[in-house]
């Protein structure tokens, strides 16, 4: 082998090594999400709340599933039913992976959202959706931990008030780690794509 050929072979070997490194870097790349990636956030790490059957639930109960957690209330006229309807569509579009999705609805109106009300409300969208009902004492601390806004807006009568509240969803991966902050209005296809990406990386 002459010197020129040897140098040429060395150059090709170097290029191949660089290309291999680049391909490896691409394969190790983090998944791209439609929602805001908040992996590693130091808040919203978990909860202990009663469901509509009175059982105390935690994130650990849903290990192995992607969890989408939303704060709202049953008498919400628009954002809440729209979000739950979309999540029912997301589950349907996931097909066989729909069983790996768990939707949690946390009420910010425990005064009116009794267990029977919440059970009926979840059933109107999907029986697998779980309602969580913080006590009036738990709610402020929970909202603070999740950086969720809510405020009672008085109505014409003591019971006709409404609740202003945040409209985004928190998405946890199958290991119970907070991963995404999904803004309201992002749409069904975006959520389906993000959940598939989380399931694929599990």
Whether residue 167 contacts residue 76, with contact meaning beta carbons closer than 8 Å, is answered with: no
pTM: 0.84
Q: Which of 12-21, 49-58, 168-177 has the lowest mean pLDDT?
A: 12-21
Question: Worst-scoring range by mean pLDDT, 15-19, 48-52, 161-165?
Answer: 15-19
Q: What is the pLDDT of residue 5?
A: 47
Residue spans of the domains in the chain: they are 1-30, 36-200
Question: Which long-range contacts does 125-128 make (Cβ < 8 Å, 24+ apart)?
Answer: 125/81, 125/84, 125/85, 125/87, 125/88, 126/84, 126/87, 126/88, 126/91, 128/91, 128/102, 128/103
Cα angle 58, 60, 62; round to 5: 95
Percentage of the residues of the chain whose pLDDT score is greater than 90 = 82
Mean pLDDT of the chain: 89
Say if residue 15's pLDDT is above 90: no
What's the pLDDT tens digit per position in 93-144? 999 999 999 999 999 999 999 999 999 999 999 999 999 999 999 999 999 9
Is the Cβ–Cβ distance between 94 and 119 less than 8 Å? no
pLDDT for the residue numbered 13: 43
pLDDT grade for 31, boundaries at 50, 70 and 90: confident
* Region 73-96 average pLDDT: 97
Q: Which CATH superfamily is domain 36-200 in?
A: Glutaredoxin (3.40.30.10)
**Cβ within 8 Å of residue 93, ≥6 positions away:** 188, 192
Longest dimension (CA), the chain: 96
């Amino acid at each position: 082998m002459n010197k020129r050929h040897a140098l040429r072979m060395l150059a090709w070997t170097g290029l191949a090594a660089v290309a291999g490194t680049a391909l490896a870097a691409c394969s190790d790349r983090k998944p791209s999400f439609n929602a805001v990636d908040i992996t590693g956030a130091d808040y919203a790490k978990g909860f202990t709340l009663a469901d509509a059957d009175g059982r105390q639930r935690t994130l650990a109960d849903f290990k192995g599933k992607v969890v989408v957690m939303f704060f709202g209330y049953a008498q919400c006229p628009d954002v809440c039913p729209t979000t739950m309807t979309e999540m029912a569509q997301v589950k349907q579009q996931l097909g066989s992976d729909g069983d790996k999705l768990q939707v949690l609805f946390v009420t910010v109106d425990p005064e009116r959202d009794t267990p029977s009300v919440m059970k009926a409300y979840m059933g109107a969208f999907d029986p697998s959706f779980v309602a969580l009902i913080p006590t009036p004492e738990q709610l402020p601390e929970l909202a603070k931990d999740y950086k969720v806004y809510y405020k009672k807006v008085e109505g014409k009568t003591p019971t006709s008030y409404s609740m202003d509240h945040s409209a985004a969803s928190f998405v946890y991966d199958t290991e119970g780690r907070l991963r995404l902050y999904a803004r309201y209005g992002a749409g069904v296809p975006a959520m389906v794509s993000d959940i598939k990406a989380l399931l694929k990386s599990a």
